[in-house]
Amino acid sequence: MSQWYLMKRYARVMELRTCSTCFTDKPLAEFQAGRKQCTTCRNATRTRLRAANPKPATPGSHIDERLRRTAKTLGITPERFAIERMKPCAACAKEATQETPNTGVADPTTGQFAGTVCLSCAKGFAFLGKDPERLANLLALFEH
């Protein structure tokens, strides 16, 4: 490597640029190519902008996506599922609300959509292993 090249390289390493935000003279290494802001300021600006502009909720965002996926699992359209989950619980007739919509239940044998039940009933069904035979045995206890 020639002396000249080394000198040139050294000069480049030592070259300073004034950051447009913090007005500090910093080595070029502190700047990304073509940026007038040092990396520290750039990261700070990005963090601030991201906090001030959270991603707007769009159709297909979190809740919608989950509803769509559940509907697909149950083999019905998201539109129908949205209506079904607001119906009274199929087991205890409890009214569904926007805050506590019903849970979709699939027929354990066919896997097809059977109806919607409230959270308590859905949990109860799950606790019983979603096993119709087990449910029938339990009911048989009360048949005299």
CB 128 → Zn ion: shortest distance, Å?
Answer: 14
User: Total binding residues for Zn ion by CB under 5 A?
Assistant: 12
Q: One-letter amino acid identity for 135?
A: L
Residue 41 in contact with residue 18, Cβ under 8 Å?
Answer: no
Strand, coil or helix: 136: helix
| By CB under 5 A, residue 92 contacts Zn ion | yes
81, 102, 118, 125: which one contacts Zn ion (CB under 5 A)? 118
Contact 125, 108 (CB under 8 A): no
If one asks whether residue 19 binds Zn ion (CB under 5 A), the answer comes out as: yes
Choose, by CB under 5 A, the member of 6, 16, 22, 83 that binds Zn ion: 22
Q: Does 71 bind Zn ion (CB under 5 A)?
A: no
User: What six digits make up the tokens of 134?
Assistant: 């087990």
Q: Does position 91 bind Zn ion by CB under 5 A?
A: yes
Supply 101's token pair.
Answer: 């919509």
